[in-house]
Amino acid sequence: MLKKFGPLAFLALPLLWSSCETDFSLNGDYEITPVVFGLLDHTKDVHIIKITKAYMGDGDNLVYAQEADSNYFTSVDAQVIEYKDGAETGRSWQLHDSIITNKDTSGIFYAPEQKVYVFYANDLDSSAEYELVADLNEGAHTINSRTSLIKGFALSNSVYMLGEIAFAANTVVDAQDYKIWAFTVYEGLHGMRYSYKYTMRWTEYYADNSTQSFSQTRNDGDVYQSNPDQPSAQTASFGGLDFYQWVAAVVPDDPNVVKRKLDGIDLRVTVAHEELDQYLDVTTPVTSIAQVQPEYTNINGGLGLFSSRVVLDVAGFDLNKASRKELCHGQYTGTKLFCSSNPADVAESYYCP
């Protein structure tokens, strides 16, 4: 609709312009807010917690994100306290600051160095609870949060006894000749999200007699525990057809390569605590037209997450004889120049010393 203004309105414009000289900020008054992120894993002996502060300014916040001083507190006095059956056990750990030097530089925050807070313990009790308490800037701010751990998670013994993975039959004609690598996973109390990945490692040999080693990781997706308070069992499975098609996609064709050797396949299973799972769900980027991002935190006096997970690695699997043959001569990977130095293959055409 076209709005019409009378002469008085135009006369008033100079008054408006002359009276709007007071500086103001769209951000309002700045208030320091602690931001915490920490995940305990009782199978590890080093535990890292990040404690920073939210920042806000009238300039470019992407510039502030690159300045470490915009994110750090002047002083942090923090500890983790152990509880069992609702009472303190008498065990606690003082956190000390440390600098990590390998933070990815492609993000928006300062890198590759970042300050974090660390404590060391190789005997955290999966049946206990742990509380983080911290005094920031000498009493200006206090935070606390408590988490349980993931108890009872394990893989079946067959995983550790396997040694070699069967991804293919001796003769592969069609899709049904590819095999499934499957094993039982015993769920953990308080667990919710299970992530399954494997990493393939290989070495390339070049025409100039040089070599270079590589690795690629395949994420086989997440599986969810039906009830974090009543753990059961689930089956993890990796398809042979998926494996060979994936290898064909991630291993590039290179005219300088004369041969490739498989160095091993490593398995990683990660279990997220139910609160970590909820945090991941809530912080997933919004794709709806509303663009309303919900907020989740379990930090009293701040924002962020203090929770737990378990990361289990089983390294050094090989392919069995039939699967090595398929890697070297198969329909998907036969052009990738893989050969085998396994003594069991010495009489085969795909053997290489």
Query: How do residues 267-281 score in pLDDT, each as one tens digit?
Result: 999 999 999 999 999
Q: In the prediction, which pLDDT does 61 show?
A: 55
**Gap between the Cα atoms of 209 and 198, Å rounded:** 29
The answer for residues whose C-beta is within 8 angstroms of residue 340's C-beta and 6 or more apart is 261, 262, 324, 328, 348, 350, 351, 352
Q: What is the total residue count of the chain?
A: 353
Outline where 157-206 has alpha helix (H).
157-162
Tokens of 331: 């329909």
Give the H/E segment covering residue 15: helix 7-19
Q: b/e string for 217-237 if b means 16 or more Cβ within 10 A?
A: ebebeebebeebeebeeeebe
| pLDDT for residue 166 is more than 60 | yes
Give the tens place of pLDDT for each residue, 280-302: 998 776 665 655 666 789 999 99
**Gap between the Cα atoms of 45 and 50, Å rounded:** 17
Tokens of 79: 């500890």
Q: In the prediction, which pLDDT does 284 show?
A: 75
Tokens of 325: 């043959």
| pLDDT for residue 17 is more than 50 | no
Q: In the prediction, which pLDDT does 224 show?
A: 97
Q: In the prediction, which pLDDT does 4 show?
A: 37
pTM: 0.85
Q: In the prediction, which pLDDT does 56 show?
A: 56
Q: In the prediction, which pLDDT does 13 show?
A: 33
- 159 three-state secondary structure: helix
Q: In the prediction, which pLDDT does 286 show?
A: 60
Q: In the prediction, which pLDDT does 112 show?
A: 83
Asked whether the beta carbons of 276 and 40 are under 8 A apart, the reply is: no
The answer for residues whose C-beta is within 8 angstroms of residue 27's C-beta and 6 or more apart is 56, 57, 58
The DSSP line for 266-283 is EEEEEEEEHHHHHHHHHT
Over residues 176-187, mean pLDDT = 97
* Residue recorded with tokens 């300088």: 256
Q: 84-88, 109-113, 314-318: lowest mean pLDDT where? A: 109-113
Mean of per-residue pLDDT scores for the chain: 88
| pLDDT for residue 54 is more than 50 | yes
| pLDDT for residue 120 is more than 50 | yes
Q: Does residue 57 or residue 135 have the better pLDDT?
A: 135
Percentage above 90 pLDDT, the chain: 76
How many helices (DSSP H) and strands (DSSP E) are in the chain?
6, 17
* Residue recorded with tokens 């535990």: 47
Tokens of 121: 């313990």
* Closest-CA residue to 345 (of 353, 333, 335, 336): 353
Over residues 61-77, mean pLDDT = 75
Q: In the prediction, which pLDDT does 318 show?
A: 97
pLDDT band at 15 (very low <50, low <70, confident <90, very high): very low
Give the tens place of pLDDT for each residue, 205-239: 999 999 999 999 999 999 999 999 999 999 999 99
The answer for residues whose C-beta is within 8 angstroms of residue 173's C-beta and 6 or more apart is none
Q: In the prediction, which pLDDT does 290 show?
A: 54
